[in-house]
Amino acid sequence: MDLKIEGGNFVLGPTGLPQRAEGLEELLQCAKLRIALRRGEFPYDREAGSTFWLWDPGEEHAWERAVALANEALAGLAGVRAVSARAVQAGVAFTIQTPLGEGEATVWKAMAAS
């Protein structure tokens, strides 16, 4: 079990202690962190993360490439994969399939106005 994180902060429960993320919520949170983390920046595992930060939404086949970059980061999570990506106000929302079900992980990415 992981601690629940929103907006870069731990989510506190009614007792003031950090809440736990479990099941599908935990897998989606882990997927989001793996996609958002720049590969090579985590000192304890230089292979963790992705190169999604290099993604250009204006390039040809941009959304297919976004999914491919996400899946590169998710390779270490058994049965977890990105199946689609779309623009949202906060960045890019990835649809993530897991052994526990499907959900969405939104990763912030500055996007050029279209």
pLDDT per position as a tens digit, 4-39: 777 777 888 889 888 888 889 999 999 999 999 999
Contact 55, 64 (CB under 8 A): no
Structural domains present in the chain: 2-107 (3.10.450.40)
d(CA 89, CA 108): 9
pTM of the model: 0.83
Q: Dump the DSSP string for 2-27.
A: EE-EETTEEPB-TTSSBPEE-HHHHH
Contact 10, 4 (CB under 8 A): yes
